[in-house]
Structure 1
Amino acid sequence: MQTPDDRPGRLVELSEDECWELLRSRPVGRVAWSGMHGVSVVPVNFAVDGDAVVLRTTPYSVMARDCAGREVAFEVDAIDEDSRLGWSVVVRGRCEREERATEGVHPWATGSRVLGLRIEVRSLTGRRIVAVDDQRGRGGFLTA
C-alpha cells in the first residue's frame, strides 16, 4: 500500500521566465554533446550571461575540442530524493569558443581554465515534479 510520501508526483511544464530564474539559481550544471568518443556528459560550473550559458575549460579538453562550433545540451536541476520533488531545466544551443576567459565563471577545479565556451540558447524548457495535491504547480520546493 502506498503512503502519501510514496505517491508519484505530477509533472508541470515551467514557463520561460521560471526556467531562466531556476537556471540562474544553481552554480553547477551538465553539458551534453555527441563527439569523438560518443555521447558525453560533464558537470561544470557556469554563469548566465544575457541569453547564453557561459563556462570555462582548458583549451586542450575533450569538451573544448568536441563542443566548439556544435550543438550541445545543458541541464541544471535540483532533486529532493526524500520528498520525490524537484525540477529540471534543459538548454539547447550552439556552443562557441570565447578566446578570453569568461567573466563571472569561477572554476572549482584547478588547472588552466582560460578558454571560455558560450552556449547561445536556442531552446529553453523545464519541468517540475510537484505533489499530486499541489494546485499551484510550484511544489513549495527548491524554488530560486
Structure 2
Amino acid sequence: MTFDNARTAAAGPRQSIELDNLDVAEALRLLGSVSLGRIVFTRQALPTVRPVNHILDGGDIVIRTHEGAALTSHARGAGGHGVVVAYEADVIDPDTHLGWSVVVTGYAYLVTDADELTRYRALLRPWAPPALDMDHAVRIRPDLVTGIRLVAPEEAAPGR
C-alpha cells in the first residue's frame, strides 16, 4: 500500500478507511482544538518524544518546561537560532480508527520576554507534578504543517 497526496484506503476494523490530507488552516484549527500533544527533539543524537500540553498562540505552538528539561537546555543552547523539533497531536477513536493527526515541524525558541512568560503562565497550566517548577516556555514556529483525517469512505471528500 502506498500513500499519495489524496487519500489511501487502509484496512480498519471491519471497514475500510480513507485518508484525506488536511490543508494548513484546518490542520492548525484541529491542533488548537486539543491541549495534549507530543514534542519530538534530539537528545544525545537520538530522537526523544515527550507528551506535553500546549496552546496555540498566533499560529505558534507554546508549551511550558522546567529548568532541568532537555528541551529547555537545547533551546537555550541554540543561541537564539532555535532548535529543530516536531510536534504531533491527534484524536483517533480506538474502536473505529477514525479521527485525525497533525504533525508540525519547525524551530523551537525559549521565550525570554518577561511579559510573554507571565501571559503564558496564566494561559497554560502544565499538568506536570507540582514539584517541577514549570517556569520556562518554548515557542514552536511552524515551518511545515501536515495533517490527515481518517474517515469512513462515505465521508471522504468527493473527487479526491
Compute the TM-score of the two structures, normalised by the length of structure 1. Answer: 0.85
Distance of aligned partners of 1:39 and 1:67 in 2 relative to their CA distance in 1, 3 Å threshold: farther
- The corresponding residue for 1:77 is 90
Deviation by residue 1:48-96 (Cα, 9 ceiling, x = unmatched): 1102100111012112123452100000100101111010011111001
1:90-101 paired onto structure 2 within 5 Å:
90-99=103-112, 100=114, 101=117
Select 2:51's aligned residue among 43, 50, 73: 43
1:75-132 per-position Cα deviation (integer Å, ceiling 9, x unaligned): 0100101111010011111001013433421111222001110001111110011112
**Which position in structure 1 is the counterpart of 2:125?**
106
Q: Does the aligned pair in 2 maintain the 1:77–1:87 contact within 8 Å? A: yes
Task: Tell whether the 8 Å contact from 1:55 to 1:118 is kept in structure 2 after alignment.
Answer: yes
> Could you tell which deviates more after superposition, 91-100 or 46-55?
91-100
The size of the alignment, in residue pairs, is 134
Comparing 80-89 and 127-136, the one that deviates more: 127-136
Query: Helix, strand or coil for the counterpart of 1:9?
Result: strand
Residues in 2 aligned to 1:130 and 1:82: alpha-carbon distance in whole angstroms: 13
> Helix, strand or coil for the counterpart of 1:26?
coil
- Residue in 2 that maps onto 1:117: 138
The alignment status of 1:12 with 2:31, answered yes or no, reads no
Q: Distance in 2 between matches of 1:87 and 1:98?
A: 29
Q: CA RMSD, aligned part only?
A: 1.8
Which amino acid counterpart does residue 120 of structure 1 have in structure 2? R
For 2:148, give the aligned amino acid: R
Q: Under a length normalisation based on structure 2, what TM-score does the superposition of the two structures give? A: 0.77
Q: CA–CA distance in 2 between the matches of 1:24 and 1:44? A: 14
Corresponding residue for residue 65 of structure 2: 57
Give, in whole Å, the separation in 1 of the partners of 2:39 and 2:19: 23
SS of corresponding position for 1:19: helix
- CA-CA distance at 1:133 after TM superposition: 2.2
- The 4+ residue runs of structure 1 with deviation greater than 2 A are 66-69, 99-103
